[in-house]
Amino acid sequence: MRTRILAFLLALAAFLGSGAPGTLAQTPARKKLLFLTHPALYKHTSLGPAEKAVIELGARGGYDVTTLEGYKQDVDKIDLTMISSSYLAQFDGLMLMTNGNLPLTLDQKKAIVDYVRAGHALVGVHCATLTLYDYPEFGEVIGGYYRRSIVPTTRIGQSNIGVLKVEDPNNPATKFLGGNWPLAEEFYQFGTAVWDASKPTENISQVGRLHIPMAFTRDRVHVLLSLDTEKMDLTGLGPEIVKGGDYPQAWTRSFGTGRVFYTTLGHRDDIWSNDPVFRAHVNGGIRWALGLEN
């Protein structure tokens, strides 16, 4: 009898481990995300809240977050000596809320590009596109470079109100938004031409006065969100911001076998802790880039 019972249990165990319909699924291993917030140009006050929020999002979102508290370092004393191919290999994805020409060697910069190309995730929020103007290969990965800020104001005096048009309602970062997303934020305009020495005041970044090394184009990215200028008051935004103009604010991109997600949003401190829609946007983008959701 004992022999029969043992044989039955062994057969049952083999069946459950075979992946047959109705079997118990194993919990997948949690993804690992490295989040850098090192500011070589400007130290946003939202960097600390961003680290805290992403750790919280990861705890419920299927990924563990490692932070280095780069935002606590002085602009002229940033330490990124740990970045290497072997260090990055510990993680499934790299998240950046950095800015400026970070103190990275050529080998370190190449390690980041190769890391994404080889199938890892890159997530960029807000000032990530204000990073590494001295290495255009990075711009190729993330999709473009910041040129200037767009800060809308409504006619009733309420500042920073913009309207985002949802261009892809199916991505995890946008699928819950409907058609439009009104939001108080700082938005970005990207460099659409490369800096030319014969026109030294054109195609430079508003913050840092850095030369744009690569032109942004929609052909390089898949746009998720753009400014809906038809639904916005453009007063005070300057002659470049016009009704019907094209101003992407979030996108995805494939680079090699890696996935890239970028959003301009995240300037405000409180948006990281108090805005569940924004948090869902960031979490959805991270999960998409890590391959946890499609």
Out of 3.40.1360.10, 2.30.30.100, 3.40.50.880, 3.40.47.10, select the CATH number for domain 31-289.
3.40.50.880
pTM comes to 0.89
N residues, the chain: 294
Cβ proximity of 181 and 225 under 8 Å: yes
Residue 152: predicted pLDDT: 84
Domain boundaries defined on the chain = 31-289
Residue numbers of the chain with a pLDDT score lower than 50: 1-25, 156
In a 3-state reduction of DSSP, which class is residue 262?
Answer: strand
Residue 153: predicted pLDDT: 64
Cβ proximity of 79 and 50 under 8 Å: no
Q: What are φ and ψ of residue 276, in 5° steps? A: -65, -25
Sign of dihedral through CA atoms 173, 57, 72, 139?
negative
How far is the CA of 224 from the CAs of 46, 257, 284, in angstroms?
23, 20, 12
Residue 26: predicted pLDDT: 55
Cα(213)–Cα(233) distance, integer angstroms: 31
Sheet with 93-96: strands ordered across? 63-67, 31-36, 93-96, 121-125, 258-263, 248-255, 222-227, 161-166, 180-184
What does the pLDDT look like over 245-282, one tens digit per residue?
999 999 999 999 999 999 999 999 999 999 999 999 99
SS3 per-residue string spanning 9-60:
HHHHHHHHCCCCCCCCCCCCCCEEEEEECCECCCCCCCHHHHHHHHHHHHHH
